[in-house]
Structure 1
Amino acid sequence: MQPPFKSPRASQSNTEGTSNRSARLPPDLPIQETHETSQEESTSIQGGIAGTLDPVAQIPRSSTSTSHTPIAIANPSTTRWSPSVDTLLNQPPASFPTRLIVGGMAFGAVFGAWAWFGTIEEVGQATGRLVPEGQTYKIQPTEVGKVNRVEVREGQAVKAGQILVELDTELAQKEVERLEQMLTAYQGEITQKQILLERIQMEAQTSAASSMAEQLAQRSAIALAREKAATTRQLLMQQRSEAVAYQARKARLAPLASTAEERLDQLQIELKAHQKRLNRLKPLLEEGAVPQDYIFQAEQALRETQQRITQTQMQDITSVNEQLFQSEQSLRDLATNITQNQGELTSAYKEAEQLQAQLSQKQADALRIQLEAQQRIEQLELDIAQTKAKIADTQTSLLAAKTRVRNNYLKAPVDGIVLSLNLQNSGEVLQAGQTVAEIAPHGVPLVLAAVLPNSEAGFVKTGMPVHVKLDAYPYQDFGTISGKVANLSADTKPDEKLGQVFRVEVQLDKDYVTDKQRKIQFRAGQTATADIIIRRRRIADLLLDPIRQIQKDGINL
């Protein structure tokens, strides 16, 4: 009988166990082997379970003694098992569970990596239609009017300035003619008033110049009169000063006359004294009592005294009297001149006052004339200003009337195509602000004007990528058109279906689709749906969102 099948794992374990146990035996303990054991023969069945026979278990507890007792080791080859146990031991281990576990672990690792590193796009859908960038041009009348002619049809290409619709201009043209007549009348009136104003201004300037010349002449006369009065007053003061001087001289000459008289009397006394002396000396000379020289000296003194008397009488007294006479005569002349000059001074003052009064009167007359002219000028200027205001109002009304006439011709503002025309026949009455037609300009790229619900606009920003699906070209056949968010309105606006919405403008990367190598250009007005890539989230976050929501609601897992 062959030994039972040994598992390699069990054999390896047995080998390791045997080597470990052998290592724990005392070095001096003899081991008696009844059979040469091998790594495969060290297994045994105990209690019907495959296991490893521990050789150490067969060593008695007294093995620690110093006696050398042989140890018997069981030989598995001599053990006998039941057929069922042999079959179980000989059957190889099953690999499916191991493979299932390994496959599950690999799947979990791959799924975890995919969920962790993989992302999914969250998109917000905005619906709208294609419009030219900058919107279309809406043609609207500014006033109520009746349609005379319709010059274009829907889809027709038009040039800038081309007439689209002609409205009735009869009433507006009559208003223009009436205002032009009023403007002509006002302009003639203002011309006449302007001429009258210039004439009055010229007269006022001439009168002012004449009055100014008269006033200058009057001021010159006043200046001359005042100068004459000043000269007369100065002369009068000088004459009065001379009179005072003559009075002082006369006062000084009066004592001189008395002095001359006294001196003459003194000389007369001296003369008498010298005569008496001479008379006394002459008898003595005859007697010879005195010398002849004494007589000569006495006679000489007598003659000198007589001479001095004569000189005093002829010079001093006469000169003083003449000076007194001259002073009195000068005083009389000065008094006459002073009286005359006083009259001239009074006359000069009166003349200056009269001239000043005349000057004041002329100034008052000139001021009155100037004020009257100024009042007339101001009145004319007021009339002219009022007329100019009427002209300005009339010109404004005329410009408005001409504008109404021009506005009755609805023209294309730019080169483009008539997208829509809301007129059928002539004779229709249009209301102010009513859209008659829409013009899409040439050469302007198309953009998608869409509305985005408020609930999906939280993360939308300009520049985000967009995938546009046109309803006219199924995306299953033609794919989507790439683009980006070009503009996002700053505030929401109400929408009947979607509630509060944001207006979004999407710029397209191209304005055509290809069908069999043929480009099909988009047209304004085509509807489309824009998928705006709001953000990219990890798949793991999406899977964990329900758990997070439960935890947020207060439920602990």
Structure 2
Amino acid sequence: MSSSNSNSNSPANLANQKKTEIRILIVDHQSLSSELIKSQLKPEPHIKIIGSVHTELATFEVIKNFLPSIVIIDFDVPEINGFALVKKIYDNFAEVKTIVFTHSNRLGKINQALSLGASGFLIKNSSTEEVKSVLNTVTSDRSDDTKLQLPIPSDPLELIENTPSQIYENNQNYESVEEVREFLDRVTSDKSKITDDTKLQAPLQSSPPQTVETAQSESVALITQNSAIVPAATAPLPAVIEEKEDWSAATKDLMDALPRVWTRGLLYCLIIGTGIIIPWSVLTKVDQTGTARGRLEPKDKVIQLDAPVGAKIKGINVKEGDKVKKGAILAELGSEIVNSELEQLKDKRSGLMERLSQLELRQDRARTAINTINEENNSRSLESDSQLAQAQQNLDTLKALYQSQKNEKLAQIEQVKQEINSSIAARKQAQLALAGSQARSKRLEAAYQEGVISQDRFLEIQQQAQENQELLIQANSAVEQSRSRLQEQQSSYENLIKNSDAEIKQAALRVDERRNSNQGGISSGKREILQAEEQLQELKTQIVAVDTELAQTNKQIESSQFELKQRQIVAPADGTVFHIAARGKGSVIQPGDRVIEIAPQDSTLILKAQIPPTDSGFLTKGMPVKIKFDAYPFQDYGVSDGELVSISPDSKVTDTPQGKQEIYELEVELDKPYILDGTKKIELTPGQTATAEVIIRQRRVIDFFLDPFRKLQEDGVKF
């Protein structure tokens, strides 16, 4: 739909249109609007489209060089600021008319363009006849009466329906049908009054009778002069727009009317409330309290008793809060296994001592038998024995070396396998990254061709895909290299096994040969002597072994006896049982586990508590503290007083049900180590939990409302 003069096809207008050629410049994007208008105006010989442009700079170049009659601006293109372009053309090229070309028929958008100098507007679904009518009307002379021949509808609202968004008065836009209806009622009333006066004065002026067309034209002229109703097909008349500077009657009534009672009452309440609340919030101060949770502990260092061995708890002889003396047995650990082992060790020691006596007796007999041995034979025998021992030692050394090299090779093979697994995982990750980047590049290629994304962005995505391709190649190369190293290590391992087996076999053969050689070199006359010496040596070896085993058994017996003593947890000093960490009889504990904690005797109690960092900034030593014990509700027993005596220099991280949190440790000294139940004193004991409340500072009420804004000012707005 478009606004046009219904009488623009009259003979007078057709004659004027033939005299003047209409030169049109179209401002749009991707030539969509220009193709649409060209198809509609193609058969018109006196209308010529000189071209289409897509930017403001190109628009002014074409206007300067070719001076078109009309510039049609597509207002639905976001790349073009239509309002600024209309204003610039109106200011610099007054003879060039501008027409708004849009889908929208909202009053605000079109009226703003008309107020900036646009001569009319076109809706994009307008027919060819409507387009030609608008072009002819816009280019017609302002003084021509045909320009004002707009038919007056019988119903004023018909004008709204046929020419939407075309009415404005003294640059005052009408945004609702009710305002337009009120305006047209005033116009119709004025028209009827003037028409009646004209009829009364007609005989005096001797004017000729008016035709329907003349009366209609005068009515239109009257409306145009009084109300500045401008059809969209006609350019805004400067004389009409500037004719009336005052407000309309409806606007004046609206401005002069008082607000409604409830709105005024609400405003008064807001003003009075603000006047009371703001001074009160500035002058009133409240205490800001920091809360810390903790428990009572001795001021002196607590004696901690840990389990020396792992065992089941046989029994706990005390409870928390009991007073104990030095040497008192606090708990016992299960010792059945230790007692059984101790008895077995004692039986073993008896058997070893009896066997040692027999071996020593046999040794004495062997020594007596070989006293007559020739020193020469003895020397030769000793030399042969030494060589045999050396060969045996070489064999043992070779076996140990073989085992060490074997373990080393296996470790290297396992390491290479791990490298292969890591390389395969990296290759898989590179494949996924490459597939993702290629898919993204392919997906965004169409967007790049359509101009949605920039070339740099598209090239960056392609570069990322290329980098992922190179990473995949590197990952494949790493996998192949790792597999090659694995083959090398496996081959080296196999060679080591073959070579080591051969060397061990050779060493074993040498030992056998040396033994056979020694035996063969012994003469038959000395065979008995050699056998006696071998028996003697064997006896010595057995005696040494028995001595060693006997010494180890004695050490085991001593260790078992010491462990048996450790199965009793004994109080090292006088004090009070502060905490029992063990769960009770039958529970299993590990070495080093905490069993019992003892507070030294006559040690004063302090409250060790934790406070979050947000409440620690204004804490100082000597601050008064209010303490509420969990075991004694403060509603019944009151609140105990204390004094802050220590604050940890730095924060610590502790585990809580909400996760890891930073805290500061506080120490609060109690004014009295008891609480009163009427006249009865109830002694406080270590381990009791409590809540400490510290007044850290006083703040104005208004500060609590201003804190979010101060934080916003310091941190800034983050998107």
Larger radius of gyration: 1
Greater RCO (Cα-Cα under 8 Å, separation 6 or more): 1
TM-score, structure 2 length as denominator? Answer: 0.29
TM-score, structure 1 length as denominator? Answer: 0.36
